Structure 1
Amino acid sequence: MYQAFYGLSEGPFSIAPNPKYLFQSARHRDALTHLTYGLGETGGFVLLTGEVGTGKTTVSRTLLQQLPENTDTAFILNPSLTELELLATLCDELGIKYPQQPSLKQLTDCISEFLSSNHQAGRNTVLIIDEAQHLRAEVLEQLRLLTNLETDTKKLLQVILIGQPELQQLLRRKELRQLAQRITARYHLMPLTEKEVASYVGHRLQVGGRAQPLFDAGAIKALHKASSGVPRLINLIAERSLLAGFANQLAVIDKKTVAAAAVEVLGVEEPAETSSQSWVPWAISGVLLVLLITSFLWRHGDLFLPEEHQQNRFPKKQVVSPQPQLPAATQPPQQTSLTTPSEPDLTAIIEQAEDIDLSFAALFDLWQQPLYKGLTPCQSAKRNGLSCYQQQGNFRTIARIDYPAVVYMQQQNQRFYAALIAVDGEQLLLQLAEQRIWVSQAWFDQRFSGTFEILWVKPAMPLQAIGPGSQGKQVQWLEDSLARVAGTTPKLRQQFDQELANQVETFQQDNGLIVDGIAGRETLIHLNLRVSNTGPRLGTL
């Protein structure tokens, strides 16, 4: 209907997952890097989570396109299955023949035989499960048992679990701790920033046949606010906006049109335009708000540390100035002093901190490594001999690891990013965009979403679980590392025994990990981080 009017060859905002409209933000590319890395680790499980409509399916389909040609893939879209139904569905997807009315053992034997034959033929087997938050605990345990099939160097079946944030909670259950230890890579996908929304809309319009911009700056801002950066909602609201624009013969879609479209799509109406007399209660509310803020800052002046304290503890420091138009691999440093903005100024700073690359630029600066133009942060890390590690937790989780981190933040409906670069008691030094500020831990806790990423140097030794049956150098390294963390004298130890299992449990409990007495992947990562002497720390900048 509106396509000819706007010079489009087709509707660009369909919610159908058309591959030619694929738009990869920096975070989508990072998610893809994490998942590809996890599969390359020859581990059993890879995890991708995100809110509804954030593009998890887009990432998974892109991953499928990038898998080697010698890969057989099974894709399960409806995980609300029993153990028997899941194995039968896996057989159907891979073309494995099985008896009529099979038992669990018969299906397992058929799958095992197929995986062994596939491996001998030089082929890989990958299972992708979408909406995995609906999987039952016993079904996940059955999947774990399937991944027990392995050679000395790789798993015969690799599983990618894709789901909503509830999947993370499911995997924290005690009966699934063995599976959780086998996750070799995980990534939580966040919505698009306002800048990415503009690129996303422009990309889809261009693929749809229009090269010129169609949504003005106000419309993009309104679109980001109404959709919270969720691509599926962006499509729905943008589609309705184009219909309204055509009906009103608008050459350019403006903020008012997008706001009206959002009301139709979401059913949430923005406050109506005020009449000449309706400004009075708003003015009174504004005065009261100013008085409340003034009173709060007067009584709680320690929310931000004095500027003098900041300058004494941290001198002026060069920070990366992200200017993508420069051809150099690294962005030039720029002198930025530490400041303590007032609350209104802080809101303005947060609006400039919606680009995660700015926070990663601060992190790379601390590591004294370049952030390469055209590469995602994790790709730049790999080129510099580093690795990205994403985890969910709270401030105490980050403090225990003691590494500077990119933290995912949220204030009301606005998502933003910061680099946590130092801690001094109850005060935290954040870098928001190009501004360094001290905030209280309470301020941080109220806005921290629970997701953070660090850079680290991955150890040379493989991150293979150390537990009952393990012996030799791995066991001695575990003993030495645990003793170093605990400040005790290590013993000579050749086999993994109950005493060492108790030490592992103590370390896991102290670091907020699943307590099972087995040094799995997550435990080994945390242990390596604790004993490593490489890289900056939160308290030693």
Structure 2
Amino acid sequence: MYSNYFGLTDLPFSIAPDPRFLYPSQQHREALAHLQYGLNCPGGFVLLTGEVGTGKTTVCRSLLEQVPERTDLAFILSPGNSATELLSAICHELKVILPERPDSLKLTNAIYHHLLESHAQGRHTVLIIDEAQNLSVALLEQVRLLTNLETNTHKLLQIMLLGQPELAEKLARPELRQLSQRITARYHLAPLSFHEMRAYIAHRLSVAGIEVQLFNPDSLRRLYRVTGGVPRLINVICDRALLGAFVQRLPRVDAGIINRAAMEVQGTSAPRARRRKAAIAAISLLALVAGLGLTGWQYQGTVSRLFMSLQQAAPSTTDTESNLTAIPAASPEQVPPLQSAEDIQVQTPSFQWPEHLDTELSQVMAYRQLFALWRLEYDPNTHPVVCRYARSQRLDCAQQDGELSTLLAQNHPAVFRLERAGYPPLYATLTGVAGEQANIMLGGKAMQLPLTELAAQWPGSYVMLWQPPPYYQESLQPGSRGEAVAWLEQHLAAWRNRPARTNLPYYDEVLSMDVEAFQRSKGLTPDGIFGPRTGVYFSASLNGLPRLSD
């Protein structure tokens, strides 16, 4: 539902144990290493414990993608309540033919003969039991007996137990000391720290197709308080929060959305009237949303409002009686033509909030105006994803968190969101700065606003376009090669007033020192790496590109 809105190629916070989304934190890498040890070192038990939702099964699924050749794996998700059920499940996983009228002895003998045959063929067999805390003491003893299946020189079965902390407590009982003594590797997965949680969310968003943060800092702090760093809770609440941001037409998740999402996940019900209001708003927005996505800071806009033909929006169900009401599309007169810099007649400095402009229309017009400043005519009907279109034109877009002063230093036009009590939020384009006045375009009209007044209303985030090097795929650093390095050498040489070197084979120390000098000139950390943050500032130094001021 919200994936197109945010420009996602996949749902980033599914609770399915998809190995693609495994965040390689230090402890998850160590947990995976312990399981890999169990795959390659026959004999004994490997024990992995962790609280509910900390990622045990996901780590195990990642292990399943790395199983060595000539290894047979039995993965038991539901071990059953009796020895016969457990041994039958193992036989099923190993494709062992069940004996007639199976009992524990017959099933154990069948498994033993299978293991002998596999060993003779040079194969190694591994048994993984998930949710092992549910095994009774008697079943755990039955599992231990399976490790007695051996030849004179080799154990025939390697066993891994995955479970909640109660499993470790159970194994500490005196009656299970023989099993406990056979555990050769133990690891306990703890919840994520705050910094790990932040990196975890960024990793899952990256796998799902975007490289920027969709959660503001306050929302992350609140999220950590309500989840305690448990990945499964993080996933569920983040999924609900992104849906909430989509319904409210917000670019990012804030702490209030996290609170509401947490209430839903914890089962706290809102009053019926509020639920109905939210449902009506969600369904109405779904009828309006048509396809304007911004990768990394995505928005779905009303495409019908951008064109001269009238279209009828899809009906929306607003209550349980399924009364259908049609939402009319905007008339052509609602979309004023874009104004060029020469056509702009600046209005009086006093800022008047537009009376008949809604959020969606202002958003679409703001991005059209932004592209117009780069001499591009943006058509969301044919290019619904804003950043993808920008990259097709050899530009890039950046969602930035920062004060107005940061944007002024970056010196490129930007789209930002204005809010005022009693009015719908509106999107505007900052097109330039003249002295102490900001030139903005709002709803197709140009106006001036004192920088002090704009700073007081500044939302703290914005979106801008910038010019990256050709074939720019990742940060350029010492050792990088290609056309992007040659381009950077040419332009940095001009900035440094030195002769440009031709046919530069790779990003060398001279280029790194020049990048550091540029970074220092802009107040950036001088690390000598040309990444998006440095690129945004450097783009404004290039000739012929739109700037806020000369």
What is the TM-score with the length of structure 1 in the denominator? 0.48
Question: Rg larger in 1 or in 2?
Answer: 2
